[in-house]
Structure formats: structure tokens, C-alpha cells
Amino acid sequence: MGRLWTIMKKELLHIWRDPRTLALIVALPIMLLALLGYGIAGESRNTPMAVADFSKTDASRRYIEYYTASSDFAVLYDVLSEADLLALIDKDLVDVALLIPEDFGRKVDTGHPTAVQLFVNGSIDPTDAQTVQLKVSAIGQMATQSILIEQFQRSPSAQMLRLPIDALVKTLYNPDGNAKLYMIPGLIPILLQIQLLLLSALSVVREREQGTMEQLIVTPIRTWELTLGKMIPYMLVGIVNLFALLWLSDVLFGVKVAGNYWDLVGLSGVFIIGALGMGMLISNLAQSQMQAIYLAVFVVLVPAIILSGLMLPRDNMPAVTFWYSELLPVTQYLEICRGIIVRGVSATTLWYSSTVPMIVLSVVYFVASIVVFKKRV
């Protein structure tokens, strides 16, 4: 027991005398619990919705209010064409789109049947998509029943009444609710992030612990040359793994790239640069491999898995959690992968929502990794 206590005492003193490691051990789990706890709590509400109201009548406005009366849906866009509705879904800005025909108000007022078209974004989680379908169908039926009652009160001849509104629901991109079509394009960014971040996060700090950094310090190599020299091999590893993952997704799970394959590869290269930049930044801030792994896992990897939109929707996250996830390039890259692979959109379609933010973040992390890097032991 004496020898056991000696070893335990040694390890406790080692932790206590390393303030940075002690702070990481105590503070990071607490911060992460608060961040993730708020991020994953609560029911999905205020599903983003777009409306194209060609009728512009009191009847059409009352019909729209059935969807917005509760907190289930929030109308964020009022557009002028069906093409605009579909473009908003392509950009992943809304999950539901409602199209009301021009003769809607006249037919409702005169007791003639009419129809509205509802589009549901099937590229979201199949469970969420099914829930949205059930909600829009239930609200459509409730609106129809209310209007039917009003018509009956105006004309008690019940035998002359017909269902006034037929709500046609169409699910886009993944109408069968194939879970693989949702999960596989989300797993590719996460797997690349884990591999690239850990490889680069250990690269510099490993040199210091092994003593080989001293040999690099005395050479005339510049800081940016040393940084690039360490990152380029990992870039090649990332590109090779990307091709392997895309090929296996097709062969094993039948998930093909619906959009432009080379758009996806090019944007993947930008993401790889950003992921390696984050890893090199962590490697320069850490003093040991344990600190580097701790920072990589708790600051980037766990939030990336939970907050990036891989499994949980981000629409209802609190502001702090939402913007923290926005600072992770993997969040933008995940949207790009699902957009190109599932919805078949182009990089320009996602230009402002995902492409530009990911490019900016990747460049910032890459430049920061060079600026912070110092040739020191």
C-alpha cells in the first residue's frame, strides 16, 4: 500500500503543479456541460417556413395564420414564385414552403374546393421530416374543418358542402425517409475533422516533447515554411480519405453525390485547410500532448459532433450555442456536404449560407496557426 500511495501522491502533485492542465481538467467539462446542455435541450419549435401567397386575400391570410398561431412554424420569407420557394429549401434556409394559388380566396368564399401545395425539406433528419409532415397535415385538416364549419353556418344545406381545401404535401430529396441518406453525408465531415485535428494537434507539441524541435530551431527554415511542411502531408492524407469515404458511401450504402462531384472536392480541400489550421493552433498553444488532446476533444470535437447539426437541428439552439457552432468550419462543411450530396445543389447556391463562412473561417484558422507558431522549445 505504501508504494501505491507513493505513486498516487506523485501523480496528484504532478497535476497540482501544472496549473494549465489543472484548469483544463476542471473548467472544460463544466463549460462543455453548460454549452451542450442548452444546445440539446428542448423540443424543436418554430420550424422555418416560407410562403408564396398568390391570392393575397383575407381568406389566404387567415389560412396562413393557422400555421403561425402556435410556435410550431415561423414564416421567415414571403416570396413571389414557386421557384423562390424551392430555392430557399435548396439553400437549407427553410424546412417547409407553402404555395397558395391565385384563385384561393375566390373559391373559398364561393364554397368551391381548392388546393394548396406544401413542400417539406426531406434532407433534414427523417424523424424531424416525418414530424413536420404530420404537423402540416394536421394543421391543414384543422383549417379545412374550421372553414367547413363557417360555410355550413352560412349555408345549412350540408349535402351541398365539400371539403374546401386540399393540402397537398410533397417531400423533396428524400421522400422515403432513408436514414442513411441523411447520416452518411454528415458522418464524412465529422470523420475528417477528427482525423485531421488530432494529427495536426499533436505534430508540433510532439516535436517539443521528443526534443527534435531544437534541431528545427537552428535551421534557417521560416515559420510559414515549417508550418506548411507539417500540414501538406496531412492535407494529402485528408484528400485521399475523402475520396475513400465518398467511394465507400456509394459502394456500401448507395449514397451517391447528387450534385457536382468536383465542387464537393474543392470545398473539401478548403475545409481540410481549416481543420489542419485549428489543429496546428491547438498544437502551438498546448505544452504537452495530453493538453493538446484535451483541447482538441473538449473544445472542438465534442461540440462538432453534437452542435454541428449531425444529429440535432440547430434552428432552436440558444444564441451562445448557435454562434459557437458557427465558429467551427465543420458546421458549414456539413451543410455543404448534405447540400451537394443529398439535394444536388451547387456551391454558389450555398454561397452566403455556408460556402463563404467556411472559406473565411478556414483562412482565419490557417493564418492564425502561422502567426501563433514560434520556433521555440
- Give me the chain's average pLDDT, please: 84
Cβ 115 vs Cβ 168: under 8 Å = yes
Mark out the alpha helices in 91-178 (DSSP H runs).
104-110, 126-154
The rounded distance, in Å, linking the Cα atoms of 273 and 292 is 19
Cβ 247 vs Cβ 265: under 8 Å = no
Encode pLDDT of 313-353 as tens digits. Answer: 887 788 888 889 999 999 999 999 999 999 999 888 999 88
pLDDT for 270: 95
**End-to-end CA distance of the chain, in Å?**
39
Encode pLDDT of 254-302 as tens digits. Answer: 999 999 999 999 999 999 999 999 998 998 888 888 888 888 988 899 8
The rounded distance, in Å, linking the Cα atoms of 66 and 87 is 24
Encode pLDDT of 215-247 as tens digits. Answer: 666 667 777 777 788 888 899 999 999 999 999
The domain spans of the chain are: 47-172, 179-372
Q: Which CATH number, 2.40.50.100, 3.40.1710.10, 3.30.930.10, 3.40.50.300, labels domain 47-172? A: 3.40.1710.10
* Band (376; pLDDT cuts 50, 70, 90): low
pLDDT for 377: 47
